[in-house]
């Protein structure tokens, strides 16, 4: 498992124990800011045998890699997303999505799968370890949810899922302020700005199955890259299109495009797709982005209305956030995604489903 590393030593199978999820919380109902930080206070699995014994639906994996970006700090993203909760309690099976009244953690078995090993001196070795654990999760029949880390982790994550499901059957829905379509940056091919190029040119993901949302940076794409994206057939929805027709119309198009030529969807979200007002804690903020009131329902709809086999939320750099809104929005986006998966499992088929009472379609009954 260590691929020739002298470090680290994998201790996940020691000591010998019966396989299955492990609850690390000492007390029931303790505040979320106490105890050992796992994602939403959920039990931990350390091995594929744990995943299978627990009949796990979703496994959350930390990918604390940020050495492929010039703006460091995203390596602390997984800890922040897991642990920077302020008020919720760890009776998580009762957590209810306010818009749908669905309790995703009672419908799905969700666990924390710990972190991938990181070689702080090698992006490539680190990404190989991410690929290894994503493959373990997928082979066990669960959906991997990656906590970044920088956006380079998109490449190994989709690579592993393509090995399981087939590259030509996967659509990648990519929310980002940046296209991440470069071939290389300063001679380096494994960076946070190159995963889309790598997936298309190296892993066989069809360009027409790459659907991008929110691009708006003045730095890229330049005309050469812009024309490469067009010629390849990437479905890129710039903020200019959202300004012209509105976010909801674009989201309907995104879902239709993701389903057009693919059986499965991988959902990737760089937190900088949000306007810096909602996500200041990221290394490459871009003004004029999405609001969280746009992104959160989009996560829920995509995970409900398409067959999502993996997702990531990346580029959370908590040291750049004077509050904790970036980690809060990242964590809530994943919760919305879990809600969408739960709705799909429950057999809800209504497009853009909202609970009729919560949405005001039906009034509360009079006493």
User: Which range among 35-49, 179-193, 311-325 shows the weakest confidence by mean pLDDT?
Assistant: 179-193
Q: Would the pLDDT of 13 be above 70?
A: no
Alpha helices, H only, the chain: 48-53, 77-83, 104-107, 123-139, 154-165, 195-201, 223-232, 239-245, 247-260, 292-305, 325-346
Round to the nearest angstrom and report the end-to-end CA distance of the chain: 62
Instruction: Give 84 or 247, the one with higher predicted confidence.
Output: 247
Domains and CATH numbers, the chain: 39-346 (3.40.800.10)
- Alpha-carbon distance 150 to 21, whole Å? 28
**Cβ-proximal residues to 329 (8 Å cutoff; 6+ apart), any chain:** 271, 274, 278, 279, 292, 295, 296
Q: Would the pLDDT of 3 be above 90?
A: no
Q: Which pLDDT score is estimated for 337?
A: 98
Tens-place pLDDT, residues 282-297: 999 999 999 999 999 9
The residue to which tokens 């066990």 are assigned:
140
Q: Which pLDDT score is estimated for 1?
A: 46
Q: Which pLDDT score is estimated for 89?
A: 58
Tens-place pLDDT, residues 206-259: 999 999 999 998 876 778 888 888 999 999 999 999 999 999 999 999 999 999
Q: Which pLDDT score is estimated for 5?
A: 60
């Amino acid at each position: 498992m260590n691929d020739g590393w002298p470090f680290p030593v994998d201790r996940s199978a020691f000591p010998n124990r019966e396989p299955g999820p492990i609850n690390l919380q000492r007390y029931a109902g303790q505040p979320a800011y106490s105890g050992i930080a796992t994602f939403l206070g959920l039990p931990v699995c350390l091995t594929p045998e744990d995943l299978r014994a627990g009949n796990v639906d979703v496994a959350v994996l930390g990918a604390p890699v940020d050495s492929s970006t010039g703006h460091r700090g995203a390596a602390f993203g997984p800890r922040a997303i897991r642990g920077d909760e302020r008020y919720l309690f760890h009776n998580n099976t009762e957590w209810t999505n306010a818009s749908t009244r669905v309790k995703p953690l009672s419908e799905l078995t969700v666990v924390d799968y710990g972190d991938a090993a990181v070689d702080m001196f090698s992006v490539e070795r680190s990404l190989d370890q991410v690929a290894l654990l994503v493959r373990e999760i997928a082979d066990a029949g669960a959906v991997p949810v990656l906590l970044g880390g920088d956006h380079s982790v998109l490449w190994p994550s989709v690579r592993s899922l393509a090995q399981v499901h087939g590259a030509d059957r996967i659509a990648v829905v990519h929310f980002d302020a940046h296209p991440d379509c470069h071939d290389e940056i300063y001679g380096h091919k494994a960076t946070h700005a190159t995963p889309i190029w790598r997936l298309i040119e190296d892993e066989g993901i069809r360009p027409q199955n790459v659907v991008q949302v929110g691009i708006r940076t003045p730095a890229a794409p330049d005309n050469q890259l812009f024309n490469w994206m067009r010629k390849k057939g990437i479905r890129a929805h710039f903020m200019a299109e959202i300004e012209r027709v509105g976010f909801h119309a674009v989201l309907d198009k995104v879902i239709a495009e993701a389903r057009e030529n693919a059986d499965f969807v991988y959902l990737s979200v760089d937190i900088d797709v949000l306007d810096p007002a909602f996500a200041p804690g990221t290394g490459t903020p871009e003004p004029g982005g999405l609001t969280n009131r746009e992104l959160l329902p989009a996560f829920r709809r995509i995970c409900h209305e398409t067959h999502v086999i993996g997702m990531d939320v990346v580029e959370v750099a908590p040291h750049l956030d004077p509050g904790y809104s970036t980690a809060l929005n990242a964590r809530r986006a994943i919760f919305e995604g879990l809600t969408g998966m739960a709705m799909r499992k429950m057999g809800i088929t209504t497009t853009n489903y909202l609970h009729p009472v919560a949405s005001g379609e039906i009034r509360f009954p009079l006493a």
